[in-house]
Structure 1
C-alpha cells in the first residue's frame, strides 16, 4: 500500500518536525512494515519549469512524421527572458496552454540529460515533457497540459506536478485490511504521535427511502449490506482533477476516467471497494445471489468465466452483470459515453471473496480488500462520498433516492483477563494501560474486576480472541520493551543420538574431501529415463504432488542421485577440475493405502485418527548420496593425477562405516544407474545382512545424459539402516608394543570371484592374530591362465602380549590360505 505523506497529513495533525523517515519508522514499530519511501522527483535535476506555448508551427517530415516547432515563454528561467525554441512531436496542446518544460542542463529519470541540439532543421533548446518522461505515469502519446491557474511561466513545476511529494510504501499483513486505505494508515499515524485524527468516513448520510434503485439480496450471509445511490447528468467529457489523478498514481494505480477514478479514489481513501454501473445499461432490479451451474460471465478484463455455485454474483433482468465484490461485468461497464452512474457500495463475506478469487485466479484491488474483511458500517458513507465527487467534478446531479438493504453484523465482544498482557509479553503492563491502549485502537472498553471487556471496532475483523488484544497492547507499548530472557536449559539434554551420528557422518565425509549440497527434491520421468531405470523399477513409483512447483518435475524423489548429478555437472561446467559432493535427505516411496483423511483444525484428532493419518503418509527413509567426478587426486611435479573411479566410491562407504563402528561387506551386483561390471552392493556384515545401498562407477550413457565425465562414480545408501547399526561411542584402537609380522600371499582364483570374497575368507581363516589385510596387486595374463586372475594380499600379524614366532605366523598364514581355498577355490600361486 502506497500512502502519500501529504494525504496522511490531511487526516492527521502530525507535528511539523516529523520527517517522512521518522513517520515510516514509527509506523513500522506499530506493525505496518516499511517497504520503501518513494520520491517521484528524486531523479530529476536542473531547471524544470512552467512554460506557456506562444506559437506552434506544424512541419511534416519526409519520414511521414509531423513535428511542431514551438516557441515557449519560460519567464526568466533561461537567463534571458526570451522565448525558448523547442521541437515537439506531440499534438495535444495549442498556443496559450501551460506546459512543463525541462531546460538544457536538466536531467530526467533514467539519467537522460537535456541539452540544446539541432533536430529537424531547428535548434531545440529543451523539451516539453510527457507524464512518462517524468516518471509520473505511462502516458507518452501526449505532453502534460497544466491547468490555466497552475502558475506563471518560469515557475518551478515540481510543486505543481507533485514531484516534491513523498510516498511511503508499506507491506501490509493479510490480517490488517484496514491499513489498505489512507483512513487506516492515518489512524495508525495518529496513534503513533497521539495526534488529532479526522476520520474521512465520518459524515452525515441520508436515510434509506423508497425512491432508490431497486435492489434485492437473496443471500444475506454472503452480502449483509448493499447500498445504492444514483448520479445522473454527468458530463462524459469531464476529466479527472489533476490532484485526484496524481494521488491515484502515487498510490500505484492508473487514472482511467472520472467515474472510475472517483471509485478508486474513495477505495484508497476509505478502504471500502466501490463499483459503478452505467445506469443506461442496467435492466431492472439488481439482485445478489449465488451463481447457478453452467452460468458464465465476461468480466471487465475481457475473460469469459464459467461460474461456480459458490460464487456470489450480481444480476439484473438481462442476467449476471458482475462477480460480487471481485470484478464487474462488461455489459454494464462505464464508458466514455456514460452520463448516469448507479453506485454500488456493498459488504461481502470475506471467505466467499477469497474462494472466488482463488477459483478464478482473479486478483483485483477490490477483491484484495474484500477478501481480508473491511468495515461494514461505512457502505453509506462511501457511496455518499463517491456521489459527492462525481457531482462536484462531473457536473452531475445526485438523485434523492437512497437504497439500503440489510444491516452490518453485530460487533464482536471479547473478554480478557486483566493481567493477560503482562503474563504473555513479560512486560509490566498495568491493566489500566491495557484499557487505554485498546481504547486508542477504537475498541469500546470497560473493566470489571479482573476482566477487561472490549467491543471490537468494525474495521478490525482480525481481532477475535484475547490474545489478539494482547498483541494490540504489546505493539502500542512497544515490542522493543519485551525483555530478552533466555530460557534455562534443562539438565541432561543435548543432541539426540541421531543428531550426533549425523554430525559424525558430515564430519567424516568432509574429511574425505566431500562438500555438502542441497538439491531440488522433485523429479519427473525425464530424470528416471536419464538414470536408465527399468520400467518396473520401484524407484519409478513416486509420490505425485497435487500442486507441483514444476509441471516437468511433479513427483517427490525416490533417489537423491538426479539432483546431485545436476549439481556436479553445473560445477564442472564452470571450470572446476573435480567435484566430490554429498547430500543427505529423505526420499518417499508410496504406500498406496488410499488418501490421507482431512481433519478440522478446531480440535485435536484422537489417537485412532492420528494413526489413520500416519498410515497414509508415504515411507520416507533418510538417504545419503555421494558423487565423485573428474579429478580425484591432483597431478603435479610429484606425478600424474588420477580421476575418480569405482574404488573411490566404495572407499567412501567403507570409511564412513568404519567411523560409525559398522562392519560392512561388499558384493558385485547389477543396478541402474551404475555400470554393470563396476557396481557393488554394500550390506551390513554378519547375521544382520541388511542392505545399505550401492556404490560404484556410473554407466557412460548416464554420465552423458547428465553432462558428467565418462567415468564418474556415485554412492547411494539408506542412512537410517547405517545409523541403526552404528555405535554411539567408537572404541579406540588397541596398540601393541610388540613387532608386527608381515606375510604376502598370492592366490589364483576364477575371474568371476571377487576380491572381497577372497579377503573375507582370508580374514576368517587367519584368526585373532591378524591385524590387517590389504589387496595390493591384481594380475591377469598367460602365467595364471585364461579366465583366471591373481590376487596378492599383504597380511599383518601381531600379538598384544608377545613377539610372534615364525611358526605361529606361518600357521596363521596357512590357515588363512586354506580357508580361502575352501570357500573360493583359490590356489596359492608359486
Structure 2
C-alpha cells in the first residue's frame, strides 16, 4: 500500500499549512482512497544537532576503548556545569558530556544527539546514566538507532550524509531535519486505480476532493528530447503475445555519462524515500525509485559498460535462466517477457531482466558505475502480472505495471531521472535518445449524460457530468445528450459507460446518494423447499447433531477412499477450470464425501464422539451435456443465449448427510455410555423423511459403498425411487479415514423428498379420551428378513385401531433355530369412540399374526 509523506505531496498540489494527517486521510476517503494506517512519528523528545567539541579516548579493562565527549547541543540544551569535569574545562557556551563507543567521528563533526527524554524507534528511552566512570547525559546516534537504515557500525555524521554544514546549527531539531517527526499516511488503493500508486495520482485525487490547485508534472512539456538516429538501439521481438497484445509498446532509453559513483543520496531524497517505505540503496537507484514514486513510471538503471546493443525485448526460450537482483536463480517460462542484450554480436542472447518485474545481476549499477543507461518502458499489464505471480515477485514495478501505467510517461520520467543524475551526481546527459513508440490513443466512449442520474438516483445536471469528466482528465465532445468521451492516458480502467458513471458519482460525492429503504412486498414468504430445509436442520439439531459447512470440492482420491467402483455415477464430476486446490479440482457429487473429511478432521484433533450433518448442493453433470456459451458483456443476452446457458448448467440437487461415531450416549455417573450403531443413522434418516412429510420404505442394500454390506439400509419412496442410504460404514473406509470403529452415516436426496412430499396442510389428529390397550408380539423370521418388512406386516394386520408400534427386542440363538431371529414388537391400541373390548383386542391380535405369516413367513414365538 502506498505511503504518503505530506511535504512530498505538496510538490504537486497546494496543501493547507495546518493540514493534519487525519484530515488528509478524510479528504482522500471522500474520493475512494481509504486510510489503511497512520504511522506515528518515529522519534519523540529532544533529538538535536550537536557539534563535537572535545573527545578523549579512554581504554577499559575489558579491552574496549570508549570516547568521553563534550558536545555543543545549543544554548537551550547546554549545561554550564558537567559532573566530573572542571568548570574551567567547560566551554564558555556550555556543553553536554556524552559517552560513546564509536570511533568514526572526530572533533568538529556535526552529529545527532538524543538528549534525556527522547524516545527512539522501538521504544528505546534515553536518560542520563552513569557508565564507564562518567555520567552520560544523552547519546550520539547511529543510523540504525534512528531507524533510518541498517548501519550500526558508526555514528551518523551529518556532513557526510549529504547535509551542508552551512545549513546545520547545534541545537536545531534533528527530528525535523531527518523527517523523523513526520506522520505518514498509508492508503489502500483498489486494483483499478493504479495511477494512485504515485504522488502525482494521489495529489490529483486530493485536488478532486478539496478543489486545491494541482500541477500535473507527468504531462509532456516539449522539453523532452526526441529520438535521435544514434540512440541506443532497442528492438521488440514478441513472437508470442498474450491474447494478441504485444508485451511492450514503448521503450525509451537515455544515457548519462561521467556520474560520480561515490556521490551520496541527498538527505531530503533519502528521507522521502524512507518515509514512503523504500530503502535507500545508491544514488542512481534511489533516483529511479524516487521518480517512480513521484510520477508512477517504473524505471531501471543499467551499467552502460555492461550492456551491449541492441537491447531486445522478447519472450523466454526453453531452458533459459536468470539470477535476479534478489540473488535468486530462476527458471524462465515461455510466456515471460525479457529484456536482453547482444554481447559479441549475438542478438538478444543474454538476459538482463524480467520486463516490468525485476532486473538481473549482470548489468546492475555498482559502486564503480560511471555511465548509466536509463530505461523507461511501457509493458502489457497481463504479461507483467502473470510473470510476477509465476515467480512470486511482487516488486514495486510489477505492482504498477499490472494495474496500468500511463504510456505517455516514459519520456517525461526518463528526462526527470537524467536531470537528477546531472544535478546530484555530476553527470552529463548524452544527446543520444531512443524512443520506440507503438502506443495507441485511448478509445473514445459514447456516453449518455443522463446515465449517471438514472443509475444513482441523483439529479446530476449535464454541466455537472461533463465538468466532472473533464476534471478527471477526459476530453468530452458533442452537444447533445450522447457525447463522445476520450479517457486520459493514465486511466486505462475507463473503458465503458459504467466506469464513467462511477467516476461522476465518486467525484461529486458518494454522500450525495440518498439512502432509501425499499418497501417489502406483501404476500411473499419462504418456499416449501426452504421451510423443509429449515425444519430438517432444526430436527437434526434437536436430535443432537451439529450442523457444519464444508467446501464443495473433491478429487479422485476422496472417492477412492470410499471404495466407489470405477463405473459408479458419483465418479462423473464437473471439473473446475481454475480450482482452489489441485488435489480437489471437481465439484462434489455427494455431500457425504466432504462431510466425512470434516468428521475425520475432528476425530484427528481428539474429538471421538462426533455427530455432524450438512445440507448442501451436489453437482451431477451429464456426460453429453452441451458446453456453456460465452455470453457478451455490456448487453443483455438474447433469450436463445439464456436458454443455451440454462441447458448447460448441470443438475444440482440438494442433499442432507450425517456422520455419527464414538458414543451416542456418553458414559457418566448414570452408567456406561452407548456406542453409536447403524440404527442411529437410520433413525436420523427417518427423522428427515418424517419432517419432509414423505413416506419411505426401508430395504437392505448389500452393494452400496461406502456402507457395510450387511448393515446398510436403502430408503425408497412408495413408487420405488431411491432417496438415500443409511447404516454403518464399511470397515475398510473407516480404517482409511481414521474414524472410530462402527462409524455410521446417512445421506438423502432432500430435493427428491421435497418433490415427493404431501403438499396438503397438516391436519390435527383428535386425541382420544378412552384408555389404550397394549399387546406384545414376538415373531420368529428368517435372519435375512428386514425388520421394516415385519413391521409393515404388523401395521397392515392391526388395522385402524393401531396407535403406535415399536420394536423393543431382537434375539438370535439356538432357542429360535439356526438362520432365524426373533423380533418383538409392542403395540398400543386405542379407539376414538369407545373403550376397546376383549373381542376388539383379540381381532387385532389375530389379524397381526395372520398378516405377518402371509407377508414375511413369520411364526409367533411361543
TM-score higher than 0.5? yes
Aligned length: 823
Matched, 1:760 2:792: yes
**C-alpha distance in structure 2 between counterparts of 1:142 and 1:545, whole Å:** 59
User: What aligned pairs does 1:534-553 form with structure 2 within 5 A after superposition?
Assistant: 547-551=578-582, 553=584
Matched, 1:48 2:42: no
1:333 aligned residue:
364
How far the C-alpha of 1:755 sits from its partner, in A, is 2.0
Greater mean deviation of Cα atoms: 584-593 or 398-407: 584-593
**C-alpha distance in structure 2 between counterparts of 1:256 and 1:309, whole Å:** 31
**C-alpha distance in structure 1 between counterparts of 2:705 and 2:64, whole Å:** 71
Can you list the C-alpha shifts for 1:746-803, whole angstroms capped at 9, x where unaligned?
2122333332221112122323332321112233455434544332212233444555
1:183 aligned residue:
200
Q: Residue 223 of structure 2 is aligned with which of 202, 205, 208?
A: 205
How far the C-alpha of 1:565 sits from its partner, in A, is 4.5
Residue pair 2:336, 2:354 contacting (<8 A) in 1 also: no
Residue pair 2:628, 2:649 contacting (<8 A) in 1 also: no
How far the C-alpha of 1:158 sits from its partner, in A, is 1.6
**C-alpha distance in structure 2 between counterparts of 1:216 and 1:61, whole Å:** 65
2:6 aligned residue:
5
Residue pair 2:71, 2:98 contacting (<8 A) in 1 also: no
DSSP-derived class of the 2:10 partner = helix
Greater mean deviation of Cα atoms: 178-187 or 554-563: 554-563
Distance 1:360-1:596 versus aligned 2 partners, 3 A rule: farther
**C-alpha distance in structure 2 between counterparts of 1:591 and 1:512, whole Å:** 36
Residue pair 2:629, 2:641 contacting (<8 A) in 1 also: no
How far the C-alpha of 1:616 sits from its partner, in A, is 6.9
**C-alpha distance in structure 2 between counterparts of 1:39 and 1:282, whole Å:** 44
Matched, 1:266 2:291: yes
Can you list the C-alpha shifts for 1:194-242, whole angstroms capped at 9, x where unaligned?
1111222354524325365233444695444332221100111112112
Distance 1:99-1:531 versus aligned 2 partners, 3 A rule: farther
How far the C-alpha of 1:2 sits from its partner, in A, is 1.5
Distance 1:666-1:119 versus aligned 2 partners, 3 A rule: farther
1:37 aligned residue:
38
Matched, 1:233 2:232: no
Matched, 1:71 2:69: yes
Greater mean deviation of Cα atoms: 428-437 or 383-392: 428-437
1:84 aligned residue:
97
Distance 1:705-1:74 versus aligned 2 partners, 3 A rule: farther
Greater mean deviation of Cα atoms: 574-583 or 24-33: 574-583
Please report the TM-score for the alignment, with normalisation by the length of structure 1: 0.88
DSSP-derived class of the 2:209 partner = helix
Residue pair 1:593, 1:615 contacting (<8 A) in 2 also: no
Residue pair 1:738, 1:799 contacting (<8 A) in 2 also: no
2:91 aligned residue:
none
Greater mean deviation of Cα atoms: 689-698 or 159-168: 689-698
Matched, 1:164 2:181: yes
Can you list the C-alpha shifts for 1:603-637, whole angstroms capped at 9, x where unaligned?
88788877877777666442212233455446777
Q: Residue 443 of structure 2 is aligned with which of 412, 421, 439?
A: 412
How far the C-alpha of 1:388 sits from its partner, in A, is 0.7
Distance 1:584-1:412 versus aligned 2 partners, 3 A rule: same
Greater mean deviation of Cα atoms: 334-343 or 498-507: 498-507
Greater mean deviation of Cα atoms: 636-645 or 207-216: 636-645
Q: Residue 373 of structure 2 is aligned with which of 342, 358, 379?
A: 342
Structure 2: 5+ residue runs without aligned partners? Answer: 83-93, 239-245
Residue pair 1:312, 1:352 contacting (<8 A) in 2 also: no
User: What aligned pairs does 1:310-459 form with structure 2 within 5 A after superposition?
Assistant: 311=337, 313-316=339-342, 317-318=345-346, 319=348, 320-358=351-389, 360-406=391-437, 408-459=439-490
Residue pair 1:560, 1:587 contacting (<8 A) in 2 also: yes
Distance 1:52-1:764 versus aligned 2 partners, 3 A rule: farther
Q: Residue 645 of structure 1 is aligned with which of 659, 670, 677?
A: 677
Distance 1:198-1:58 versus aligned 2 partners, 3 A rule: farther
Greater mean deviation of Cα atoms: 124-133 or 441-450: 124-133
Distance 1:698-1:683 versus aligned 2 partners, 3 A rule: closer
Can you list the C-alpha shifts for 1:675-703, whole angstroms capped at 9, x where unaligned?
554x33231242x2222222234466755
Please report the TM-score for the alignment, with normalisation by the length of structure 2: 0.85
Residue pair 1:49, 1:77 contacting (<8 A) in 2 also: no
2:158 aligned residue:
146
Residue pair 1:435, 1:446 contacting (<8 A) in 2 also: no
Greater mean deviation of Cα atoms: 32-41 or 222-231: 222-231
Distance 1:454-1:304 versus aligned 2 partners, 3 A rule: same
2:243 aligned residue:
none
How far the C-alpha of 1:383 sits from its partner, in A, is 1.0
Matched, 1:660 2:659: no
**C-alpha distance in structure 2 between counterparts of 1:803 and 1:731, whole Å:** 27
Greater mean deviation of Cα atoms: 731-740 or 53-62: 53-62
**C-alpha distance in structure 2 between counterparts of 1:56 and 1:615, whole Å:** 91
Greater mean deviation of Cα atoms: 238-247 or 691-700: 691-700
Can you list the C-alpha shifts for 1:103-156, whole angstroms capped at 9, x where unaligned?
455444444445566778987665544444444345555554423547444444
2:303 aligned residue:
278
Greater mean deviation of Cα atoms: 767-776 or 549-558: 549-558
Residue pair 2:659, 2:743 contacting (<8 A) in 1 also: yes
**C-alpha distance in structure 2 between counterparts of 1:565 and 1:118, whole Å:** 68
Residue pair 2:12, 2:214 contacting (<8 A) in 1 also: yes
How far the C-alpha of 1:571 sits from its partner, in A, is 5.7
Structure 1: 5+ residue runs without aligned partners? Answer: none
Can you list the C-alpha shifts for 1:711-740, whole angstroms capped at 9, x where unaligned?
543322222322222234552342253634
Residue pair 1:435, 1:447 contacting (<8 A) in 2 also: no
**C-alpha distance in structure 2 between counterparts of 1:601 and 1:55, whole Å:** 79
DSSP-derived class of the 1:462 partner = coil
User: What aligned pairs does 1:67-146 form with structure 2 within 5 A after superposition?
Assistant: 68-69=66-67, 71=69, 73=71, 75=73, 77=77, 82-88=95-101, 93-94=105-106, 96-103=108-115, 106-114=118-126, 127-140=139-152, 143-146=155-158
**C-alpha distance in structure 1 between counterparts of 2:200 and 2:525, whole Å:** 51
Can you list the C-alpha shifts for 1:175-208, whole angstroms capped at 9, x where unaligned?
1111110001001111211111122235452432
Tell me how large the CA RMSD over aligned residues is.
Answer: 3.7
Distance 1:745-1:207 versus aligned 2 partners, 3 A rule: same
**C-alpha distance in structure 1 between counterparts of 2:64 and 2:757, whole Å:** 85
How far the C-alpha of 1:101 sits from its partner, in A, is 3.8
How far the C-alpha of 1:425 sits from its partner, in A, is 0.9
1:464 aligned residue:
495
**C-alpha distance in structure 1 between counterparts of 2:639 and 2:735, whole Å:** 51
**C-alpha distance in structure 1 between counterparts of 2:78 and 2:779, whole Å:** 103
Distance 1:623-1:129 versus aligned 2 partners, 3 A rule: farther
